[in-house]
Amino acid sequence: MSSGKASSVQIWQYITAILLIGLLGFHLLERVPWIWGVSTMDQTLTAAFVYSDYVHFGWALLLLAYVALFHGLNGVRGMLLELRQGRMYTATINALFWIVFIVFAAIATLTVVKLPAYP
Amino acid sequence: MAREQGGAVEKENRPGFWRSSLNPWTVRTKNNPERVAFVLHRVTGFIILAFLLAHILETDSPVWSQIVYHVNGWAFWNHIMGIESGLAFRIGEFIVAGAVLFHAPNGIRLLLTEFFGVGVGRPGDPKPPYVPFTFTAAQRQWLYAVFVVWIVLWIIAGVIIFT
């Protein structure tokens, strides 16, 4: 399995970091109560509030999940490749990276696609 | 003084992976804030990734609870939120918030210095006392600003989480 050039993988790490600043910033602001006219953070986590988030910003939350997964898993992948070197070891780490990424990206996609309607 | 660790010899001036990149307690902090930031960036990255994987499973609960437990997905969501309003989970959220609020500003500093190449000073001939140019460049002030911003935002996050 090809791992790509180290430099190009690192560039993707920077690109995802730039995207995360905006996407995660927005996601965190969703939990700040006084922005939304409520008094506690728990009120921003009610089913009605969260469902509204998904309806209006589902695509952004999905993009955030993909970008954060890539950035986080690729960071750990880089650290694991520092630990030791070897063709088999590198291939194993790369395979694990893609397996975990695809599984969790699929779960995140399922959340947005199959979300039940709020009663 | 060399010592054995996991079959490998670890020399004091050449610490191994754990001591040099993942253990904040082994960092000599004097005039070494970049090393502190490097280790903290890795440690907070691990904390955030662990939370992210759990968070994806948690936010999918309205979907998977219908399949696994045959219950109303949103009722199950409220049930989970009730559990997570406990003190232990709030402390966990506070730790994750601290991790994010360090990782993000320091990440912006790394983007500026490593990706855009600004704030690292101009190269020049080394002269006594041979202080690297990057240590006197703007990135050092940005790093101190990152630490200040981190603590201030973490306090604000604590107020939001615990009130």
B19 lies in some domain: no
Res B7 pLDDT > 80: no
**Banded model confidence at residue B4, pLDDT cuts 50, 70, 90:** low
B103 lies in some domain: yes
- DSSP letter string over chain A? -----HHHHHHHHHHHHHHHHHHHHHHHHTT-GGGTT-SSGGGGGSHHHHHHHHHHHHHHHHHHHHHHHHHHHHHHHHHHHHH---HHHHHHHHHHHHHHHHHHHHHHHHHHHSPPPP-
**CATH number of the CATH domain containing B40:** 1.20.1300.10
B67 lies in some domain: yes
Per-residue model confidence (pLDDT) at position A108: 96
**Banded model confidence at residue A1, pLDDT cuts 50, 70, 90:** very low
Per-residue model confidence (pLDDT) at position B130: 87
| Domains detected in chain A | 8-114 (1.20.1300)
Domain of B63 in residue numbering reads as 33-119+134-162
**Banded model confidence at residue B159, pLDDT cuts 50, 70, 90:** very high
B11 lies in some domain: no
B4 lies in some domain: no
Q: Which of B45, B60, B73 sits opposite A72 (nearest CB)?
A: B45
A107–B42: do the CB atoms touch at under 8 Å?
no
Which residues on B lie below 8 Å from A28 (Cβ)? Answer: 100
Chain segment B56-82, per-residue pLDDT in tens: 999 999 999 999 999 989 999 999 999
Looking at the structure of chain B, the number of domains it has is 1
Chain segment B77-131, per-residue pLDDT in tens: 999 999 999 999 999 999 999 999 999 999 999 999 999 999 998 888 888 988 8
Chain segment B17-35, per-residue pLDDT in tens: 888 888 888 888 888 899 9
B9 lies in some domain: no
**Percent of residues, chain A, with pLDDT higher than 90:** 73
Interfacial A residues in 74-113 facing B (CB < 8 Å): 75-76, 79, 82-83, 104, 107-108, 110-111
Q: Which of A25, A40, A72 sits opposite B49 (nearest CB)?
A: A72
Q: Check if A47 contacts B (Cβ < 8 Å).
A: yes
Which residues on B lie below 8 Å from A57 (Cβ)? Answer: none
B41 lies in some domain: yes
**Banded model confidence at residue B146, pLDDT cuts 50, 70, 90:** very high
CA closest to B72 among chain A residues: A116
B124 lies in some domain: no
